[in-house]
Structure 1
Amino acid sequence: MDEQQLETLRHHPDFRRLVATKTRLTWTLTAVMLTAYFSFVLLLAFSPSTLGLRIGAGTVTLGIPVAIAFILLAFTLTAVYVIKANGSIDALNETLKEHHA
């Protein structure tokens, strides 16, 4: 692609929608993960005994299910990104390829 084609592509409404969609999705998922992470860190910093509370009569503490939930959140956010990327983002990308290939 030459500079003229790149400039035309940058100003195409579908390209702008693609960039906006991808940016919004990325920042939203990042904000969710960072909120969860910093909440966990703040809990550890200001109330470390909370995660040490025993669940039931066993030896399992509250920290174990919280850690598992954190890992599951990461997998879930990854799945959300993949589903969105394979759906709406790839569709916009294909439209752009057809018009500007």
Structure 2
Amino acid sequence: MQEDAYARILANPRFLELTSKRSRFAWLLSAIMLVVFYGYVLVVAFRPDLLATKLYDGATLSVGVPIGAAIIVLAWLLTTLYVARANTEFERLNQQIIEELK
């Protein structure tokens, strides 16, 4: 019984659409995060003077600190974006697949 249900799910065009969309979106968000993070690491490795620049004359805080904090915030935003899409579009497709199995 369950094997039949699995076969029907795997053959369902909506399931293929769901897995395709979810995979593309996850890879896109991952690529954005990797480019930003490793870009920052490369700047730290090869041009640390850029990040060591003070925010303003007499400041003790360098440019690198807010940029690092922005990278952390970007990770939260990308996670929030994924969760929002998962709870709307991906969940809608998931419910349609479940309804078709009944």
User: TM-score, normalised to structure 1's length?
Assistant: 0.94
What per-residue deviation string (whole Å, max 9, x for no partner) do you get for residues 30-68 of structure 1?
000000111011101111121111011211101111011
2:77 maps to 76
Whole-angstrom distance in 1 between the partners of 2:64 and 2:52: 6
Matches within 5 A, 1:1-101: 1-57=1-57, 58-101=59-102
Helix, strand or coil: the match of 2:62? coil
Q: 1 CA distance for matches of 2:32 and 2:20? A: 18
Report how far residue 4 of structure 1 moved: 2.0
Long gaps (5+) in structure 1: none
SS in 2 for 1:55: coil
What root-mean-square deviation, in Å, do the aligned CA atoms of Structure 1 and Structure 2 show?
A: 1.1
Segments ≥4 residues shifted beyond 2 Å: none
Instruction: Deviation per CA, 1:45-100: give whole Å up to 9, x if none.
Output: 11112111101121110111101110110111011101100110000011111111
2:56 maps to a residue whose letter is: G
CA–CA distance in structure 1, aligned partners of residues 77 and 2 of structure 2:
40
Give ranges in structure 2 of 5+ residues lacking alignment: none
Q: Percent identity?
A: 33
My pick for the range that moved more, 28-37 or 4-13, is: 4-13
